């Protein structure tokens, strides 16, 4: 860890003695951590694993950088005297918030449990920022969503599926972000509960802070659930509007087919080569046939209108 980023409000050496950071993929650092602390991330894998010296807790978190959301995997190995974190890189961006909290509450750096509390606190804050980003994405699409539900754009042109393809794609992306955040919150809550169990009654002050953290994690999870319900409702509203629109188009073609079916039948009949067709010799045969064809087209139209199918 870069000592220049840590204020003098606590002893950097004490923090380093209780927190070891290992970058994933750095085999030398992994070997050194195994030799010094005895932690074995290979055995733990991606599951909760307890050994004589450590309890390993895997986490998957969303990390936002500008408009890009990355999915990152971490593992916390919590022991009585040291916390070892297997993380994507060192230093890890979301942990900057933890360092700020450690500077403000320097007693947290005196135990691995306090350090882990600060790290979980920072990760929970990072997840909340991701949820806020997804919410802002939905707010930015509010005008497009309104147009989609009304069925017409600002020029009065009807909106089709192709017009909403980009909006639907972005909504699906927002739903994916929110769903992944819900999963991350479940993992954070599990890690916080394990931490609370490890602390027990030995440090009442830290235990109380962890209880508040668990409530905060659940609060962010509830926020994610609310945003998930909102995006699913908006998706359903758009798809329902587009389905209704497509059904109306199908209904128009059905009505047109029903109206022109009788005249088509008559035209087909007169297209046959019969030897004797008396009306061909009538003085007003053509007019009578034309009027009968017109009436045959109006009858289904009158019936459809009477049934209210034109609405």
Q: Per-residue pLDDT tens for 194-223?
A: 999 999 998 999 999 999 999 999 999 999
- 184 inside domain: yes
- The band of 20, judged by pLDDT with boundaries at 50, 70 and 90, is very high
By the 8 A CB rule, do 310 and 252 touch?
no
Length, in residues, of the chain: 311
Last residue of a domain, one of 206, 232, 247: 247
* Same domain assignment for residues 221 and 264: no
* Same domain assignment for residues 13 and 28: yes
* Same domain assignment for residues 268 and 131: no
128-138 residue pLDDT tens = 999 999 888 88
3-class SS letters over 154-220: CCCCECCCHHHHHHHHHHHHHHHHHHHHHHHHHHHHHHHHHHHHHHCCCCHHHHHHHHHHHHHHHHH
- 47 inside domain: yes
Domain that holds residue 121: 3-247
Per-residue pLDDT at 149: 63
Q: Is the pLDDT of residue 285 over 90?
A: no
The region of weakest confidence among 16-20, 57-61, 177-181, 253-257 is: 253-257
* Same domain assignment for residues 225 and 280: no
Per-residue pLDDT at 163: 64
Contacts of 26 (CB under 8 A, 6+ apart): none
* Same domain assignment for residues 256 and 114: no
SS3 content of the chain, % helix, strand, coil (to 5): 70, 10, 20
- 72 inside domain: yes
Q: Which CATH number fits the domain that encloses residue 252?
A: 1.20.58.340
Last residue of a domain, one of 247, 263, 292: 247
- 311 inside domain: no
81-125 residue pLDDT tens = 999 999 999 889 999 999 999 999 999 999 999 999 999 999 999
* Same domain assignment for residues 188 and 214: yes
- The band of 260, judged by pLDDT with boundaries at 50, 70 and 90, is confident
By the 8 A CB rule, do 21 and 1 touch?
yes
Per-residue pLDDT at 1: 43
- 132 inside domain: yes
- The band of 11, judged by pLDDT with boundaries at 50, 70 and 90, is confident
Q: Which of 69, 226, 228 is nearest to 133 (CA)?
A: 69
- The band of 181, judged by pLDDT with boundaries at 50, 70 and 90, is very high
Q: Mean pLDDT across the chain, nearest whole number?
A: 84
Which of 94-98, 137-141, 281-285 has maximum average pLDDT? Answer: 94-98
By the 8 A CB rule, do 167 and 148 touch?
yes
User: What pTM did the predictor assign?
Assistant: 0.76
184 vs 36: CA distance, rounded Å: 30
Helix (H, G, I), strand (E, B) or coil at 21: strand
* Same domain assignment for residues 91 and 119: yes
Q: What burial letters (b/e) apply to 129-139, b meaning 16+ CB within 10 Å?
A: ebbebbbebbe
Q: Is the pLDDT of residue 7 over 50?
A: no
32 vs 233: CA distance, rounded Å: 51
* Same domain assignment for residues 296 and 182: no
Which of 63-72, 93-102, 152-161 has maximum average pLDDT? Answer: 93-102
- The band of 9, judged by pLDDT with boundaries at 50, 70 and 90, is low
Write down the residue that tokens 């004490």 correspond to. Answer: 14
Q: Is the pLDDT of residue 180 over 70?
A: yes
């Amino acid at each position: 860890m870069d000592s220049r980023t840590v204020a003098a409000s606590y002893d950097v050496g004490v923090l380093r003695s209780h927190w070891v950071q290992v970058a994933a993929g750095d085999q030398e650092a992994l070997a050194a951590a195994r030799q010094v602390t005895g932690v074995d991330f290979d055995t733990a894998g991606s599951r909760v694993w307890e050994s004589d010296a450590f309890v390993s807790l895997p986490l998957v978190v969303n990390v936002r950088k500008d408009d890009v959301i990355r999915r990152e995997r971490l593992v916390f190995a919590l022991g009585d005297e040291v916390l070892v974190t297997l993380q994507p890189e060192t230093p890890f961006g979301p942990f900057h918030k933890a360092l700020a909290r450690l500077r403000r509450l320097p007693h947290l750096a005196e135990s691995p449990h306090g350090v882990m509390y600060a790290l979980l606190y920072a990760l929970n804050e990072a997840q909340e920022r991701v949820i806020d980003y997804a919410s802002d994405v939905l707010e930015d699409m509010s005008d497009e969503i309104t147009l989609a539900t009304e069925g017409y754009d600002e020029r009065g042109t009807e909106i089709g599926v192709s017009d909403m393809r980009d909006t639907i794609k972005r909504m699906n992306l927002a739903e994916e972000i929110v769903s992944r955040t819900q999963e991350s919150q479940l993992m954070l809550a599990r890690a916080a509960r394990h931490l609370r169990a490890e602390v027990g009654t030995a440090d009442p002050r830290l235990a109380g802070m962890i209880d508040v953290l668990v409530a905060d994690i659940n609060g962010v999870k509830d926020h994610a659930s609310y945003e998930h319900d909102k995006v699913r409702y908006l998706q359903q509203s758009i798809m329902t509007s587009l389905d209704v629109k497509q059904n109306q188009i199908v209904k128009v073609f059905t009505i047109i087919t029903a109206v022109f079916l009788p005249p088509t039948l008559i035209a087909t009949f007169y297209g046959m080569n019969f030897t004797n067709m008396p009306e061909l010799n009538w003085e007003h045969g053509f007019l009578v046939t034309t009027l009968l064809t017109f009436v045959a087209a109006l009858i289904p139209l009158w019936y459809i209108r009477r049934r209210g199918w034109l609405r």
